Amino acid sequence: MAVIVKAEAFLVNLEVEQTRVDAVQAFLAQETLFVEVSTDDGAVGLGYSYTIGTGGSAVLALLKDHLLPRLVGKDARLIEGLWRDLFASTRATTVGAITSLALAAVDTALWDLRCLRAGEPLWRVAGGFRPRVPLYDTEGGWLHLTTDELVVGAKASVDAGWGGIKVKVGKPTAHEDLERLAAVREAIGPRVDLMVDANQSMTAAEAIRRAAAFAPVNLFWFEEPLPADDVSGHRRLAESTTIPIAVGESMYSISQFRDYLERGAASIVQVDVARIGGITPWLKVAHLAESFNVEVCPHFLMELHVSLTAAIPNGRYVEHIPQLRAITTAEMTIDTGHAVAPETPGLGIAWDRNAMDDRRVA
């Protein structure tokens, strides 16, 4: 056995690495939740989760007051059983963001332990499909940037050999969005994938109208055009356009993904390991998508998602938004347009504990 003798949680605040604005919000800070699990054989696993600026203290309270005490004395190897027990113990608050984010911090710590004990990196333990995954850039495509700034960023990504570029949309008029997209498409040429993200800012009618307006720039996907709970609206949009519809970053349960896939409302799955509740449910969503012949391009958290996307056969892209450099001693490896999964045992993230302590708030 590997009996859990201690489970602790703490909160670290991270400043954003650059200004990030989309159609509905500004990304001003990242509240990063950590869970450290120790076992009787001396092994220690470190997992994490995050919020964009708010709610971190609520997640931390759920961890400290309810979830972590249930772990002590349990076998850390029984990840499925532990996940289900913690989920069931918070039935009054599931399915929901606070519980999923808390579960993710625990689950990633347990997977870190599993991989450390096996002496293997996460990408192999979770499936081991391939060691590297194509990369696309979001960091140069924020909504507040001028058209000229978008073009400069897009050209830099192309020069670096990256396969795709994402631009935020949701300007007051479709003409403004299209003018920006047309300039980027002209700058990158026809072979580089161009994605757009509306961050749930549109009605179904407006999304259908804008998808038609965007047709000339040959989009690779249209991301989160509508609120995440509007499955029927996404289905109507998908039926009205040849642009693939990408969803998933704002979904917190496997059943939500099942509903989208069964109804033909999603062509790209963007499951987020923190928001779905950890690696355990993330892999279930990925395999569910595979059964529908749908590819996975996870949202954010590139330092962790590179390993998970490398683990599965239907992983298409990793999203480039660096956000952990202030508390790590090494960056994710990028080589000829690909994110390379780390070979070090565990999650493969080189945490800087001193830097984390400096930014610790609770």
**Domain of 222: which CATH number?**
3.20.20.120
- Identify the CATH number of the domain in which residue 70 sits: 3.30.390.10
For residue 27, the model assigns a pLDDT of 81
**305 and 242 fall within a common domain:** yes
Distance separating alpha carbons of residues 197 and 245, to the nearest angstrom: 10
66 flagged as catalytic: no
Is residue 347 assigned to a domain? no
Domain that holds residue 203: 124-340
Is residue 146 a contact partner of residue 23, using CB atoms and an 8 Å limit?
no
Distance separating alpha carbons of residues 63 and 103, to the nearest angstrom: 8
3-class secondary structure per residue, the chain: CCEEEEEEEEEEEEEEEEEEECCCCEEEEEEEEEEEEEECCCCEEEEEEEECCCCHHHHHHHHHHHHHHHHCCCECCCHHHHHHHHHHHCHHHCCCHHHHHHHHHHHHHHHHHHHHHHCCEHHHHCCCCCCEEEEEECCCCCCCCCHHHHHHHHHHHHHCCCCEEEEECCCCCHHHHHHHHHHHHHHHCCCCEEEEECCCCCCHHHHHHHHHHHHHHCCCEEECCCCCCCHHHHHHHHHHCCCCEEECCCCCCHHHHHHHHHCCCCCEECCCHHHHCCHHHHHHHHHHHHHCCCEECCCCCHHHHHHHHHHCCCECCEEECCCCHHHECCCCEEECCEEECCCCCECCCCECHHHHHHCECC
**53 and 114 fall within a common domain:** yes
β-bridge partners, 319: 136
Radius of gyration for the chain, computed over Cα atoms and rounded to the nearest angstrom: 20
299 flagged as catalytic: yes
**171 and 57 fall within a common domain:** no
**100 and 128 fall within a common domain:** no
Number of domains in the chain: 2
pTM, full prediction: 0.96
**178 and 325 fall within a common domain:** yes
For residue 188, the model assigns a pLDDT of 96
**293 and 183 fall within a common domain:** yes
**89 and 200 fall within a common domain:** no
**102 and 236 fall within a common domain:** no
For residue 79, the model assigns a pLDDT of 98
Along the chain (362 residues), what's the average pLDDT of each consecutive run of 10 residues? 96 88 83 98 97 93 97 98 96 89 98 98 98 95 96 95 96 96 97 97 97 97 97 98 97 97 98 98 98 98 98 98 94 95 98 97 92
Considering the candidates 74, 166, 234, 299, report the single residue annotated as catalytic: 299
**Dihedral, CA of residue 329, residue 334, residue 340 and residue 342, to nearest 10:** -10
Is residue 48 assigned to a domain? yes
CA-based nearest residue to 107, from 278, 346, 309, 349: 278
**69 and 217 fall within a common domain:** no
**218 and 77 fall within a common domain:** no
